[in-house]
Amino acid sequence: MIRSVRSDNIINRKREELMKHYRMQDLTVSELQEYLKHNQTIILPYALCEQHGFHLPLDTDIRNAEFCSKALAEKLGCIVAPVLNYTFSGGMLAGTINVKPNTFANLVGEIIESLVLQGFRNIIIIPGHGGSESLLHLKESLRILKWLNPALKDTLILLTQIWDFSPTWTHLFDTQDYHASDAETSLLLHWSPEVVRKDVVMDPPEVAERLRNDPDSFQLRESFTDMKQEIIQTSQRSDVKVGVMGFPERACAETGKKIEEEFVANAAQAIQKAIAVADDARKSGKRIIHEDNDKMKIRSV
């Protein structure tokens, strides 16, 4: 039975009680208002439904974004916004839902503007999908957004890629492990072993080798002329039937656990330092001036 109580009795609930609910959507209006009195940090995960071979589910990136965000939120003592489950992949196998990069980036920008309007000042974006097109569009779009919207001047936005804070995952990149392979399979064996299929299916050896050597080689790029001014046509090569890029047979739950632990420890330390620096800068008005061009190194997962 729902009973009527005074609003101040709800608002005065201890912060520890509120943090039992790490998901923003699990809070009530009054609980979120109370949270914002003490903490203006929120994690915004994004991913998509995408091809991940025949051994991993289509929501692999979504699970990675959600579980990593939960673990990080518990370490930071902050909440997580609902996962944005749409972005751009470029893959064309059944189950991949592509959204144009500019549409995705604009949506993230509008979500951030809404969060800032409510009182959030530190936005931690966690990509579960690492496609270069999405990341490049997002970073440039958010730079322009902050340029044009003075209300975001004091907003700290961190694009926090999981693999950047895990030496284990970075090492796996160096061993030609990119997509639906050792790292991602290990994470799901750690978090959701029941969804990982036992039999690993690969593309023909020559195709699998090509994808390991160049993860962008799933793309077929065509043009009418050799003029650099022409916009080329891109599609997925017809010989890519599975799309695994790496060695999923090497995966194990222990590797997934190690990736999570490294990410949480390293990312939390970096984020806490960044928030402290941003807080001081907001008070002093000091800013770092960047004279060089901003370049971003992208890894595809």
Give the per-residue pLDDT at 18. 54
Give the per-residue pLDDT at 16. 55
Q: What is the mean pLDDT of residues 236-244?
A: 97
Does 8 score more than 80 pLDDT? no
Q: Domains, the chain, ranges and CATH?
A: 11-175+261-284 (3.40.50.10310)
Does 11 score more than 50 pLDDT? no
> Residue 183 corresponds to which amino acid?
A
Mean of all residue pLDDT scores within the chain: 92
Q: Answer whether 21's CB lies under 8 Å from 78's CB.
A: no
Please state, in angstroms and rounded to a whole number, the distance separating the CA atoms of residues 168 and 160: 16
Does 29 score more than 60 pLDDT? yes
Q: Answer whether 166's CB lies under 8 Å from 265's CB.
A: no
> Residue 38 corresponds to which amino acid?
H
Residues whose CB falls within 8 Å of the CB of residue 187, separated by 6 or more in sequence, listed in order: 63, 64, 67, 256, 259, 260
Please state, in angstroms and rounded to a whole number, the distance separating the CA atoms of residues 158 and 161: 9
Please state, in angstroms and rounded to a whole number, the distance separating the CA atoms of residues 130 and 89: 9
pLDDT tens profile 157-215:
999 999 999 999 999 999 999 999 999 999 999 999 999 999 999 999 999 999 999 99
Of the two residues 132 and 96, the one the predictor is more confident about is 96
pLDDT tens profile 105-156:
999 999 999 999 999 999 999 999 988 899 999 999 999 999 999 999 999 9
Please state, in angstroms and rounded to a whole number, the distance separating the CA atoms of residues 168 and 87: 26
**156 bridge partner residues:** 122
Kindly list the distances between the CA atom of residue 37 and the CA atoms of 8, 94, 105, 256, 278, in Å, as whole numbers in the listed order.
14, 45, 29, 35, 18
